[in-house]
Structure formats: C-alpha cells, structure tokens
Structure 1
Amino acid sequence: MADESWRIPMLVQELAAKVQQPPSRYVQPEQYHPVSLVVGAEKPEAIPVIDLSRLWAADGADDEGSKLRLALQSWGLFLVDNHEIETSLMDDLINASREFFHLPLKEKLKCSNLIDGKHFQVEGYGNDPVTSKDQTLDWLDRLHLRVEPEDERNFVHWPEHPNSFR
C-alpha cells in the first residue's frame, strides 16, 4: 500500500508553533493572489448585501431574489441583513467559539475529525480533506458540526468545553 501520509496535514496550530513562514503547500499560486489595489485604481465591487426581510415580503422579493442569484453566481457569497437573529445569541456563539479555539490542542483533539488518526470525516475539529499531493492547503483549523436537522446532531464531535458550547 502506498504511503498516503500527505492526506493528513499537520494541524495549523501545531505548524504555526514550529515555522516562521507557511510551508510551500500553503502558498497560493500567483495566479490566485488577490489583485493589489493601486492608488487611483477603480474601487473593487462591494460584497453584495441581501436583505432577508425583502425575500419574504410580498413586494421586493423578486428583486431581492435576483440580487441573491447574481451574488451567488458572481461572488459565491453575500452578507445578510435583517436576519432577525438576536445579537446576544450571535455574541454567545462567537464567545463560545473563541473559548474553544483558545483551548489547549489536546482538549480540541477530543473532537477530532479523524477516525483512528487516519480517516477524514467532515464533522469535528481539524483540517479540510486533502485529495491530491499537489493541492494547495488552506491555512486553517476548523470545527465543523451538524446542527440541523436536530436528530442528526452527533454530540461525539461537539466540544465539552466551554460548557456553554452545547
């Protein structure tokens, strides 16, 4: 069986403690670098903002729907306005996430996205899957959890700390 250790990159937190600059596998090829802003150059297009309240309204839903479609086709993302999520809930989520990512690595690895340290699964803490030796890697560690539908939540991958996380 061929050595496929390249499929499981070192966690970025571990790597960052050992290197001064990202290894070449983490450096995007030049053709993917963001275009430098030059003084006097035209300002880049603003990220689209989608008003969710207009999507549900009787008037304006078609216009907002067209705007959403264009945002997804051109940008692949958008900002959301009027989502009606309580600010306190968003603040609590951000604070719990920060607390999780400030935990020692050993604690975060309790919810690893690797089965037996070798087999990648989407849910849990770790990196994104690596499908090719030539793949440029993202400089990130992430925590991916299934939230909905509720009956598909797998608390095995959910952190026990901070206590507020669950």
Structure 2
Amino acid sequence: RAPSMVRTTVQDLAAAVEEPPRQYVVHERDRDHLLAADEMPDPIPLIDLGRLMAADEAHKLREALQTWGLFLVTNHGIEESLMDAMMSASRDFFRQPPEEKNKCSNLIDDGEHLEMEGYGNDKVVTPQDQGLSWNDRLHLRVEPQDERNFAKWPTHPESFRGMCYLSTHQEPRE
C-alpha cells in the first residue's frame, strides 16, 4: 500500500523555489551556537588512523570532535578508486526520480512512522518556529553483515551494492 505521509525531497524543494521555505531557515536568534565560516578553526583536523594509539593523535581527535564535530581521516586502508566509485554510485542514486529512491524508503508500512535505515528525510517533531534540516539521506547498516537489511538497499544504480560489498571486504594496507 502507498505511504500516506507526503514527503517532499530536498531536490523537489530546491527546484521549485528561489529561497528555502521559512521552516528551513535558521533564525538569527538561534544562530548563537553555530560558528560562522570565518570563525571555523583552520584547517579541518586531519587524523591519522595509523597513529591513533599515540597520545598526540588521540588528543587531536578529541580536539577535533570538541571544536569541529568532524575530521578528515588518513591511513584508513580504503583505496581512492573505491571511494571514488562509491561517491559516483551514491550520486547516481540521489539523481534518480523520487519513485525509484522511494523503493528504499525509511517509512514503515503504516506510512506514518520512520525507521533508521532507508532513504528519506527525517521526520522532525519540533516547536513550530524551529528550523528543519534541509537534507535527504540514505542510511544503511553495513556491519555486522548479518544485520544488513537489503530491502532498504538500492538496486539502482546496479553498482551500488557491489561498491558497499567491496568496501567491507578489502584487505587493510600495511
């Protein structure tokens, strides 16, 4: 049965408006906790996984999480060609029409509730004047392998599942 919750994708919204709808705009009064681009630490922290057991690298990781909330990683063992292929397959997925992406929907059968895995945008229950997140996402469990829910994994592009499989079966570099 078709989901009863009407969902508009970010791509649909962006194509139809010149400015984001008001519910996606963060009000000036709510920006106090956000850093402006010119206030960001420079550069984005770079964490070497090969050195993570060293005290100085662990300290860099802690600092990155406290100041940025994200970091770049080196020496992770994933080949650049595989990362490029995964990015390409992901872009191909998000460029598909909504009908195709919704085959991996994170809506539960009743159409009113969401589950963690799958494609969609998150249902946000907030006060009416709080800004909403301008995103669509595809969340998939990759590990442990026996907990993968392939019903939520895209079949198009055809390379998608293969890329994810390769990423979990590659031998680490020495």
TM-score over 0.5 for the pair:
yes
| 1:29 CA displacement | 1.8
Matches within 5 A, 1:7-86: 10-30=8-28, 31-32=30-31, 34-35=35-36, 37=38, 44-56=41-53, 61-86=54-79
CA distance in 2 between partners of 1:63 and 1:44 (Å) = 18
Q: Which residue in 1 is equivalent to 2:112?
A: 118
Q: The residue matched to 1:119 in structure 2 has which SS?
A: coil
**Shift in CA distance, 51/137, structure 1 to aligned 2, threshold 3 Å:** same
| 1:21 CA displacement | 1.5
CA distance in 1 between partners of 2:87 and 2:107 (Å) = 25
Q: Which residue in 1 is equivalent to 2:99?
A: 106
Unaligned runs of 5+ in 2: 162-174
Q: Which residue in 1 is equivalent to 2:168?
A: none
**Is residue 2:95 matched to residue 1:95?**
no
Q: Deviations over 1:41-95 (max 9, x none)?
A: x884322111111115xxxx11101111121122211111122211111011011
CA distance in 2 between partners of 1:76 and 1:44 (Å) = 11
**What amino acid sits opposite 2:142 in the alignment?**
V
CA distance in 1 between partners of 2:42 and 2:6 (Å) = 37
TM-score (norm 1): 0.82
CA distance in 2 between partners of 1:132 and 1:70 (Å) = 30
Unaligned runs of 5+ in 1: none
Q: Which residue in 2 is equivalent to 1:132?
A: 126
Query: Percentage identity across aligned positions?
Result: 60
Q: Deviations over 1:85-125 (max 9, x none)?
A: 11111011011101111111110011111123311111111
Higher mean alpha-carbon deviation, 156-165 vs 109-118, is at 109-118
Is contact 1:51–1:82 with CA below 8 Å preserved after alignment? yes
| 1:157 CA displacement | 0.5
Q: The residue matched to 1:114 in structure 2 has which SS?
A: coil
Higher mean alpha-carbon deviation, 23-32 vs 156-165, is at 23-32
Is contact 1:50–1:78 with CA below 8 Å preserved after alignment? yes
| 1:142 CA displacement | 0.9
CA distance in 2 between partners of 1:75 and 1:95 (Å) = 27
**What amino acid sits opposite 1:49 in the alignment?**
L
